Structure 1
Amino acid sequence: MIRSIDVAGSNLTIAWEKSAPENGGSAVFPAIWLRDNCRCPECRHAGNGQRLYEITDLPEDLAIGAAVLSDDKAVRITWQPGGHVSTFTPAWLADHDLSAEARRGRKRPVKLWSKAIGTEMPIGDWRQMVSDPAAELAFLDTFHAHGFGLIRNSPTVPGTVLQIGNHLGFVRVTNYGALFDVKSVANPTNLAYTPVGLGVHSDNPYRDPTPGVQLLHCLESTAPGGDTLLVDGFNAAEILRREAPDAFDLLTRVPVNFRFRSNDADLMARQTLISVDEGGNVVGVHFNNRSLDWLDAPAAMVVPWFAAYRKFAEVLHRPEGELIFRLEPGDCVVMQNDRALHGRTAFDPSKGSRHLQGAYVDKDGLESRARVLRRQIAEDKGVAA
């Protein structure tokens, strides 16, 4: 709850009760920010919540004319000029606190992992997920925390990967189609379609944007070898930051070209191997030795960049970071493509079959699905999400 409010210049300061977020303290809200977040029917569409005005419709000399606490401790602001009134509940203000501590608390928790995750890796049961929203949400939450998850007990029918992808999000169609078959073929256009082992990598860094999520669904798995290999790219990046901070910094700043060429496609994108947000947190890893094209950078940057690239590759290939497991028919591994780098061990197609089908889904689709499920579950329980 709110203990008191104070207007000073162009800011509103709220003092929280001791039972409020973070056991009291205060929060500062700039006037223009509050006015732009007015939720009244004049400012927002009642059905979809979208703004009904342009930023240029607000007065340049906007000011808080008056701010009072109502009986239920909501903040009621009268704006000048014009006299427009906005009301903000304590719960809404607490959820949108702009302090550094509150902003850190709103970030989705990331759980770094290594080979030691073993049998505790995120697992969902497809039969439960399609019938129980709570089971599906639990899988998505652990998927988002770890950057990957394994779905078991799905149908061993060709095309199932599309059903899973379109249930969790929205399948992206590429030059490979809506889905692609991963098996050994003659005259392959990609090393994925051979029986050779593949080092860990992110898929399609030559696209803009890179696919957010990759699904690989197992239909057949009788050939010796072909085990799935996963590495947490975020964990590897943090190890690099600790052991070689200059190398980490260089790989976050200097982009490199990635490229893929075939008879019907010529794709190229330019991006850094490690991406960070405004707070320096790792938010993306793009690593693919096979698709790396050339470094378009000042000559003085070349030698340091390649040294940093080599160091990062060494970290990614450390055995203690490699999670290795075998996909059985009906298993579908779901991977955040810019975090959970994947590869496989070599297999022998003369002694059995290995057939996977893959698809790409945009990351925001799975994030949307989790929010919708959370809202629906909360509504069923009669509480606000």
Structure 2
Amino acid sequence: MVIQWQNCRACEWIQNQPEPQGARTPCSSDVSQFVVACTQCVNQDTRQRNFDTFQLPEDVHPVNFSETEKHLEVQWSDSHKSQHPWSWLDSWFEGGYAEQFGQDETRVFWNSSIEDAPPEVAFDAVMDKSDEKGMADLTRNIWVHGFSFVVDTPPTPEATESLLEKVGPIRTTHYGGFYDFIPDLALADTAYTNLALPAHTDTTYFSEPAGLQAFHLLSHHAPPNAKPTDDALGGQSLLVDGFHIASTLKKESPEAYETLRSIQVPWHASGNKGIAIVPDRTYPVIEEDNGELTRVRWNNDDRGILDVFNAEKWYSAARKWNEIIRRRSSEYWFQLTPGRVVIFDNWRVMHGRSAFEGIRRICGAYTPRDDFMSRYRETNFPHETVIGRNLNMRSRQPTENKQEHEAITRAP
């Protein structure tokens, strides 16, 4: 059997070992790649490199290897000694990465049937300073289902802000940070009215849209002329799973899915004087990474003018997309009440509302995506596992030299 080896420090050690059945090395040819696992070359407090990669001689090479129960020790030609955990070496083989560093839980797409058992967690459990289980449950709900309720929350802006700050830092935008508003058009946005809002994602016009969004209804008072029996004030809230919509579109109309995935769309925020926001580039409605859905960007009100050469094709696909969104089977309607906060993944779940009468007071905030992901992983996985994954993050994209990597296996 011919085994193809690439030149790096780990590979040279593996190459001198008894050949595992069907194994090939996955390592990079860049010698610094192997050094980053060395406990002497990486500051163990900051997890940052403490050497200048580019000061390494190009011809540096291993001169000796020795094994211990926990690591491989390498003696280099420049007299440096490095230690590399077996777990790190193992992670480069098929199946090893997930085994060593774990993987995020499988996401569950949903339709209107989620109303039978929506995910929720108690406020006191999330705020418990002695136990992170409540926070772990909350962030897991949001990751897996795209949203979660936090029940029994004190109906005050102070309690709501404390809850959201525990999830992660509040993101400040041109709307401010923590918001507490009534429908008075204080800002030029339909959200600040009592009109109905179709399902959409927020901040499509940012290069990085808001990660999480939260709403807490503090009060809803009837208009002055309402009769005592006029208790149906409206204002039901709507959630739609954008990933469910995307997967449904892909099944029913693959061509429309590909259109919304590939055609770039301009987005903008231009309603307030002195503010003119657009992303760093145009973005499609559906974003994925090597076939895995990563983000939905959808707000027809904030969409710019399409490229005239793609407009007909895009509108046809968007019409099908919109039809799936508006199916009753896609919609989860519920009534927000004081004490019941909803927090949802703005990269995945679209939200909206029905029109309402009277004055509603709502508070909430945005949370940056990266901070949410950190909170989710840190409360649901061991810290060292999370750090190991961060240091060794790998692209989902196929390797440039697929032939070299596609058959990588570990010895049994």
**TM-score normalised over the length of structure 1:** 0.83
Retained in 1: the 8 A contact 2:211–2:372? Answer: no
1:159-198 superposed matches below 5 A: 159-185=158-184, 189-198=188-197
Q: 1:330 aligns with which of 339, 345, 366?
A: 339
Report what 1:285 is aligned to. 296
Which residue does the alignment assign to 1:3?
Answer: none
> Equivalents in 1 of 2:60, 2:105: separation in Å?
34
Structure 2 residue corresponding to 1:304, chosen from 309, 313, 338? 313
Judged with a 3 Å threshold, the aligned counterparts in structure 2 of structure 1 residues 305 and 60 are, in CA distance, closer, same or farther, namely farther
Secondary structure at 2:199 match in 1: strand
Q: CA deviation at 1:169?
A: 0.3
Give deviations 1:172-196, integer Å, cap 9, x for gaps: 1111111233432267611112222
In the TM superposition, what whole-angstrom CA distance separates every residue of 1:239-288 from its partner, at most 9, and x where no partner exists? Answer: 111222222122222211111221232212232111111x1211000000
Structure 2 match to 1:77: 74
> Which is bigger in relative contact order (C-alpha 8 A, separation at least 6)?
2
Amino acid at match of 1:123: E
Specify the code of the residue in structure 2 equivalent to 1:121: P
User: Does residue 370 of structure 2 align to residue 364 of structure 1?
Assistant: yes
* Mapped contact 2:6–2:26 kept (Cα < 8 A): no
- Structure 1 stretch displaced more, 322-331 or 6-15: 6-15
- 5 Å-filtered alignment, 1:331-350, equals 331-349=340-358
Give the corresponding residue for 1:315. Answer: 324
2:301 maps to a residue whose letter is R
User: Alpha carbons of 1:174 and 1:34: their partners in 2 closer, same or farther (altered >3 Å)?
Assistant: closer
Report the CA distance between 1:40 and its aligned residue: 1.9
Q: How does 1:14-93 map to 2 (within 5 A)?
A: 28-30=25-27, 32=31, 34-41=33-40, 43-61=41-59, 63-70=61-68, 72=69, 74-79=71-76, 81-93=77-89
Is the Cα–Cα contact under 8 Å of residues 214 and 336 in structure 1 kept in the other structure?
yes
| 8 Å CA contact 1:188, 1:194 repeated in 2 | no
Displacement of 1:340 in angstroms is 0.8
**What is the deviation of 1:354?**
2.2
Instruction: Determine whether 1:99 maps to 2:111.
Output: no
What's the secondary structure of 1:305's corresponding residue?
helix
In the alignment, does 2:274 pair up with 1:264?
A: yes
Contact kept? 1:197, 1:343, Cα under 8 Å: yes
CA distance in 2, matches of 1:347, 1:168: 30
How many angstroms does 1:88 deviate by? 2.6
Contact 1:220 1:329 in 2 (8 A): yes
Aligned counterpart, 1:145: 144
| 2:125–2:133 Cα contact (<8 Å) kept | no
Residue deviations 1:218-246 (CA, integer Å, cap 9, x gap): 20145521111101111111111122222
| Contact kept? 1:161, 1:215, Cα under 8 Å | no
Superposition deviation, residue 50 in structure 1: 0.5
Question: 2:36·2:49 contact (CA, 8 Å) conserved in 1?
Answer: no
Instruction: Give the letter aligned to residue 99 of structure 1.
Output: E
Contact 2:259 / 2:314 at 8 angstroms: preserved in 1?
yes
Q: Is the 8 A contact 2:182 2:361 kept in 1?
A: yes
TM-score under structure 2 length normalisation: 0.78
Greater fraction of residues in strand: 1
| Corresponding letter in the other structure for 1:10 | N
Shift of 1:375: 6.5
Q: CA–CA distance in 1 between the matches of 2:56 and 2:238?
A: 54
Specify every segment of 5 or more residues in structure 1 that has no aligned partner in the other structure, as ranges: 1-5, 16-23, 380-385
Gap change, CA 1:282 and 1:377, over 3 Å in 2: closer
Q: Secondary structure at the match of 1:300?
A: coil
SS in 2 for 1:306: helix
Residues 317/65 of structure 1: CA separation in 2 closer, same or farther (3 Å cut): farther
Looking at structure 2, the residues matched to 53 and 33 of structure 1 have their Cα atoms a distance apart, in angstroms, of 10
Structure 2 CA distance for partners of 1:126 and 1:93, relative to 1, 3 Å: farther
Structure 1: distance between partners of 2:314 and 2:274 = 32
- Counterpart-to-counterpart distance in 2, 1:347 and 1:339: 26
1:251 aligns with: 260
Q: Give, in angstroms, the shift of residue 66 of structure 1.
A: 4.2
Give the match's secondary structure for 2:303.
Answer: coil
What is the deviation of 1:26?
5.3
Distance in structure 2 (CA, Å) of the matches to 1:257 and 1:52? 42
- CA shift in 2, pair 1:235/1:66, >3 Å: farther
How has the CA–CA distance of structure 1 residues 178 and 27 changed in structure 2, closer, same or farther, with 3 Å as cutoff? farther
Relative to 1, partners in 2 of residues 1:27 and 1:165: Cα closer, same or farther, differing over 3 Å? farther
**In 2: Cα distance, 1:99 partner to 1:376 partner:** 22
Structure 1 counterpart SS, 2:363: strand
Letter in 2 for 1:363: R
